[in-house]
Structure 1
Amino acid sequence: MTLNDTLPNQTVVVHRHLATGMIRQRLMDLGIMPQAVVTMIRSAPLGDPIEIKIDNTHVSLRRSEAAGIEVTTTAHSEACC
């Protein structure tokens, strides 16, 4: 499962990055690294970008960047209705 596949209000844990180079470094600088807990907040009206929350920081990502981040679901994640 990738970060791109998550639903609003769903909490996941980053497993690994498939991105390389400058994009990978930028994601790591933003705190999106293995074992980080990420909550999907919402998607823009046309679907791109998405807003995620890492700790107390809100970050917007392109769906293409989110598709390169493998995640696993947490036991207490909830999907919005």
Structure 2
Amino acid sequence: MPKPDPIDEISIGGDVIRLGQFLKFAGLLDSGGDAKEVIIDGFVQVNGEEERRRGRQLHDGDLVTFQGRTVRVRP
């Protein structure tokens, strides 16, 4: 049985960050335009659920998954 991929923790330097910003900050995407497209198209999950709001506020401990990579938000 394969092991799940490790979850990277990304420190955002504050308490809250928007999903679109976080995708760029975490290195999951290169631009805000790319982030907008993948979020609207339903390719991003937050805490295991599809999220289509680019302005979704992320907090400490939230898990963001895109293209099989999951990262945890840390302050």
Shorter chain as normaliser: what TM range? 0.3 to 0.5
Q: TM-score, normalised by structure 2?
A: 0.34
Determine which structure has greater relative contact order: mean sequence separation of CA pairs < 8 Å that are 6+ residues apart, divided by chain length: 1
Higher strand fraction (1 or 2): 1
Q: TM-score, normalised by structure 1?
A: 0.32
